[in-house]
Structure 1
Amino acid sequence: MEYLLQVKIGALVGLLLLTLFFGSIPARVKWFRRTNGTETHRTVLSLISCFAGGVFLAACLLDIIPDYLSDISTELDVRKVETSFPLPEFIMASGFFMVLILEKMVLTCKDMGGAQEERAPLIADDRHGHGHGHRASADLESSGHHVHVDFQAHSPFRSFMLFLSLSLHSVFEGLAIGLQNTDSKVLEICIAILVHKSIIVFSLSVKLVQSAVRPLWVAAYIGVFALMSPLGIGIGISVVEAQLASGALIQCVLEGLAAGTFIYITFMEILPHELNSPGKQLLKVLFILLGFSVMAALTFIG
C-alpha cells in the first residue's frame, strides 16, 4: 500500500473517531439535557447555545459559501459558461426557498391534521415519552423564570435540515482530502478539518438535544454525520484510483443547495431564537462573537 493511501486512510479513521467523541458529549452528559435546572444552569446553557450560533454563522459566511462560490466559478470557467445572470447566487437562493417551502408545507399539514398546539414542535414530545420536558417548561414559566431550553421554540425539522446541510458539506470536505496527491497536503487539510469539525459537531449535538429530539435519533444523527467526511474521503480515493473527473458540476450544484439551506437555518432558526430570548443580551452577543471569532481564527490559520 502506498504511503499516501495510508495517510488518507488514517485521516478517514481519525475524522470518524473524533467526530463521534465530540458529538456524543452533549448527548451523553445529563447536564445538557436538563430543562428544570437552576438559573445559573439555564444561563450557561444559553451562552453555550449562543457560542454555537456564532460557530454556525462563521461556518456559513467564512467556509461553506466561499468554498461553494470558488468551486462553481472554477467549474463554469472550465466549461466556458458565460452569463450575466448570477447563477451561483440563484442556486443558493433555491436551497433557501427549498427548505422554507418544505418547512411550511410540513407545518401546514400538521395544522390540517389537528395539532394540539399551534406552535408544537414537529416531533411532539408527548408522543415519544418526553412529556416531562413540556411539563417542566410549563412549571418553570409559571414561576416567572425565563427558560432558555424551550423545547417548543426549537424546531426538530430545522435541526434535521441543519444536520442535512452540514452532512452534505462534510462529504465535500472529505472529498477534498481524498483527491489530494501529496501526503503533506492531506495532513494539512485533515488537521484543519479535525479542529473545525470537532467544534461543529459539538454545536450540532447541542442544538439537537435542545430540540427535544429523542436520544436514539440524536445518536443516529451524530453517527451519520461522523460518517460523512470519511465517505467523502473514500469517494475521493476511488476517483483518484480510477482516474475519473466527472460529476464536478453536480457536486457544485449540491454545494450551492447546501449553502442555501445553511443560510436559512442560521438566520431563521439559530440566531433569532437566541437574540429574541430575554435576559443578558450583551453577554449573548459576546458569546456569539466569541464563537464566530474562534472559527474565523481557525479559517485564517488554515
Structure 2
Amino acid sequence: MELWLLKLIMAVTLFATNFGSALLTILMVKKATSRYAAIACTIAQSLTGGLFLGLVFLLLDPEVKLAKEDLEVKHNLRLPSHITAITLAAGVFIMLILDNVEKFFAKKDPAAMNLEVEMEPLRPELHFNSESTPPPTTEPSFLKYLFFATFMSLHSIFEGFPIGYKKSTAALNAYFFPLLLHKILEAVALAFAGIKQKPLFAIIGSLTHSLMTPLGALVGTLLASEDLSIEWDVALLILIGVSTGTLMYITFETLAELKNNEEYQAFNDFLKLGLIALGFALTAGIAIIVEKLEEEDVTSAVAV
C-alpha cells in the first residue's frame, strides 16, 4: 500500500472513531448511572496516562534524536547538542501558554467555570442532601462550551503531525495504534463534559475535536515533502520536537489530574496505577514489535 494512502486511511479512521466514540457516549450517558460514569472517566484517564508515558519516552523522544542525526548526515552539518531538548521545552512552553490563556478568559467570564459545576452529578455523594441544597443550574452557552472544547483540542493538531512526517509503515503503525486508543478515550471524556451542557453542544464540540488530529496530519504531510531545503528540514526537526514536548506536557498533566481531580476518584490509587502500567505496557509492546520489524527490514535490505 502506498504510504500516502495509508496516512489518509489513518486520518479518516481517527476522525471516524473519535467522533463515533463521542456520539456513542452521548447516546449512552443518559442511561448510565452516576457510579458507572465516574468509573468510566477514571479508567479512561488512567489508561491515557500510561499510553502517553510509553508514547513519549519509548517512541517519540528517541525519534527526535534520530531526526537530528539524519539532518546532520543529509546536510553535512553539526547542530548544537541541546537543540532537541530545547524543542521539547518549547512544546511544553506552548502548552503552558495555552493553559494560561484559557485561565485568563475563565477569570474574565466566571460562568465558563460552570462546566465543572455541571460535571458534579458524576459524584453522587456530593448531592446526598439535594432536597435542601439543590445543585446550581446555569443557562447552557454554545460559545462557552465551544471555547472549552477548542482549547482542549488544540494539542490534537500536534498529535497529528507525526502521521504526516513519518516515512515508513512500521513507524506509522507504532505511533498510530496507541494514539487511536488515546483519542477514543479522550473523545469519551470530552463528550461527558459536553452532555452536561446540552447534547447539541456536545456533538458540535466533539466534531471540532475530531477534526483536529487529521488536520495536524495534513500539515505534517505538507511539511514532510521529499525535496526539502535545509531550512525546511530544520523546521521539521523543530516541529517533531515541539509536538513531542506538547505530548510530554499532556502526559504529566493527565497523571496529575488523576491525583488531584475529584472526577477521577472512582477507585483507589493502586488500581489507577495498575491501569497506568497497563497502558504503558501496551505501548512498550508495540515499540518492541516495531523495533523487531525494522531490524528485519534492515537485514533484508543488506541481504539483497
Q: TM-score, normalised by structure 2?
A: 0.70
1:89 aligned to 85, 88, 112, which one? 85
Deviations 1:16-61 (A, max 9, x none): 3321232124301136755972424422431132112211222222
Going from structure 1 to structure 2, the CA distance change for 1:157 and 1:54 (only over 3 Å counts) comes to farther
* TM-superposed deviation, 1:293: 0.8
Aligned residue for 2:204? 216
CA distance in structure 1 between the partners assigned to 2:151 and 2:57 by the alignment: 18
* TM-superposed deviation, 1:259: 2.1
The 8 Å contact of residues 35 and 136 in structure 1, kept in 2 or not, is answered as no
SS across alignment from 1:23:
helix
The 8 Å contact of residues 29 and 37 in structure 2, kept in 1 or not, is answered as no
Residues 1-302 of structure 1: pairs in structure 2 closer than 5 A? 7-29=2-24, 30=26, 33=29, 37-76=33-72, 78=75, 80-81=77-78, 83=80, 86-111=82-107, 113=108, 115-116=110-111, 121=113, 124-125=114-115, 133-134=118-119, 136=121, 140-143=125-128, 163-177=153-167, 185-186=168-169, 188-212=170-194, 214-229=202-217, 232-233=220-221, 236=224, 239-240=225-226, 243-246=227-230, 247-268=232-253, 270-276=254-260, 277-278=264-265, 279-302=267-290
CA distance in structure 1 between the partners assigned to 2:235 and 2:148 by the alignment: 25
* TM-superposed deviation, 1:296: 1.2
The 8 Å contact of residues 50 and 284 in structure 1, kept in 2 or not, is answered as yes
* TM-superposed deviation, 1:258: 2.1
Segments of structure 2 that go 5 or more residues without pairing to the other structure are 130-144, 195-200, 291-304
* TM-superposed deviation, 1:157: 8.0
CA distance in structure 1 between the partners assigned to 2:239 and 2:152 by the alignment: 15
Q: Percentage identity across aligned positions?
A: 16
The 8 Å contact of residues 27 and 33 in structure 1, kept in 2 or not, is answered as no
SS across alignment from 1:214:
helix
CA distance in structure 2 between the partners assigned to 1:176 and 1:249 by the alignment: 15
CA distance in structure 2 between the partners assigned to 1:258 and 1:230 by the alignment: 14
CA distance in structure 2 between the partners assigned to 1:134 and 1:28 by the alignment: 18
Segments of structure 1 that go 5 or more residues without pairing to the other structure are 1-5, 145-154, 178-184
The 8 Å contact of residues 32 and 206 in structure 1, kept in 2 or not, is answered as no
* TM-superposed deviation, 1:284: 0.9
The structure that is helix-richer by fraction is: 2
Deviations 1:218-263 (A, max 9, x none): 1122123134335544654xx34xx444401011112222222222
CA distance in structure 1 between the partners assigned to 2:277 and 2:218 by the alignment: 31
Q: TM-score, normalised by structure 1?
A: 0.71
Going from structure 1 to structure 2, the CA distance change for 1:104 and 1:175 (only over 3 Å counts) comes to closer
Equivalent AA in structure 1 for residue 184 of structure 2: F
The 8 Å contact of residues 165 and 261 in structure 1, kept in 2 or not, is answered as yes
Equivalent AA in structure 2 for residue 299 of structure 1: A
The 8 Å contact of residues 32 and 45 in structure 1, kept in 2 or not, is answered as no
Equivalent AA in structure 1 for residue 282 of structure 2: V
Aligned residue for 1:182? none
CA distance in structure 1 between the partners assigned to 2:55 and 2:85 by the alignment: 17
Cα RMSD (Å) of the superposition?
Answer: 3.5
CA distance in structure 2 between the partners assigned to 1:74 and 1:158 by the alignment: 39
CA distance in structure 2 between the partners assigned to 1:208 and 1:199 by the alignment: 14
Equivalent AA in structure 1 for residue 19 of structure 2: S
Going from structure 1 to structure 2, the CA distance change for 1:294 and 1:203 (only over 3 Å counts) comes to same
CA distance in structure 2 between the partners assigned to 1:264 and 1:158 by the alignment: 18
